[in-house]
Amino acid sequence: MQAVRERLTKEEEQSAPNRSSWTIREALDWTTQYFRQAGIANSRFEAEELLAHALKSSRLTLYVNPTRVLDPEESVHFRELIQKRKAGTPSAYLVGDVDFVNVRLRVNPHVLIPRAETEELVERILNDFNARGHQQHEAVALLDLGTGSGAIAIALLKSWPAAQAVAVDISADALDIAQENALANGVAERITLLLSDWAAAVTGIFDLVVANPPYIPTEELEGLSNEVTDHEPRLALDGGLRGTREIERLLQQVPHILKPGGFLYLEIGYNQGEAVHNLLSKSCSFSEWEVFPDLAGRDRMIRAIRTKEE
């Protein structure tokens, strides 16, 4: 694959349609092929995202008038985006925002780009609470540990109009992004943002605690794509020697702030289901727990219930 990428020379780049006559259709078709040759997955989708951003439009609008010619400024901007993407910058950082469940979130290199697995975690929580008879307008006190862009807390608040959230992160820069996202999505009055090392500075008792902690073993970080290691915050990725260092810390802290009978949800690494199950089995703070797979069938979520007081 690396050899293929190296064959993408400047001459190949210059084979694109002339800037003065590059239509939307031509731009999409050429960029899709260019990204495919560079080994970029979802090449058509990424070409659409970047072109829509360059044109200040939606992806759908691209197909309404495919013969529209890009003006020189649009063409230059789009070419710049193409080259940054090929160099490894994730599209989400180039565009500056991303869809997540039921919200649109601003993202930058201070926060992880929300993944599909985290969307599945939010959907699991919503489905579980609905199955237990939770009404949309019931009050829920929720705590989002390691909030990053605020994705989990904001998505849950949008679904539960009476809920209140505390969203915690150790990064002040991440909390700035979370604040912007809370304001943009109309939930700022129902979320408290807190600078804290996990729950160290948290007070109060919560019905629900959720976290997407770092869970990648340190030695495996170098095996990740450059898109991840060169651009996304290492602090949000590095889970220590076995990948469970931060999960262990969370399991020690959460019982002090989760009400008896309350729920803890964690996103975990695809091969950590047994390890986290064993950690929970050694704790007397949780009465039951279950590991759930993602859509690919890999263990990626844990739900645990706080032991009720006798």
Domain boundaries, the chain: 2-87, 102-306
Predicted confidence (pLDDT) per residue in 43-75, tens digit? 999 999 999 999 999 999 999 999 999 999 999
SS3 of 154-205: HHHHHHCCCCEEEEEECCHHHHHHHHHHHHHCCCHHHEEEEECCCCCCCCCC
Report pTM: 0.89
DSSP string for residues in 54-111: HTTS-HHHHTTSTTPBPPHHHHHHHHHHHHHHHTT--HHHHH-EEEETTEEEE--TTS
Predicted confidence (pLDDT) per residue in 280-308, tens digit? 998 889 989 999 999 889 999 999 999 97
The hierarchical CATH code for the domain 2-87 is 1.10.8
Give the side-chain half-sphere CA count within 13 A for 37.
Answer: 15
Distance CA 71, CA 19 (A): 8
pLDDT at res. 310: 44
Could you tell me whether strands 286-293 and 299-306 are parallel, antiparallel, or unpaired per DSSP bridges?
A: antiparallel
Domain spanning 102-306: CATH superfamily: Vaccinia Virus protein VP39 (3.40.50.150)
CA-wise closest residue to 213 among 182, 162, 247: 247
Tokens encoding 263? 């729920």
Mean pLDDT by 10 residues, the chain (310 residues): 43 51 93 95 95 94 93 94 95 95 95 94 95 84 98 97 97 98 98 97 96 92 83 87 93 95 95 92 90 92 86
Distance CA 167, CA 52 (A): 32
Predicted confidence (pLDDT) per residue in 116-142, tens digit? 999 999 999 999 999 988 877 789 999
191-195, strands of its sheet edge to edge: 191-195, 164-169, 141-145, 206-211, 258-267, 299-306, 286-293
pLDDT at res. 137: 79
Distance CA 282, CA 168 (A): 26
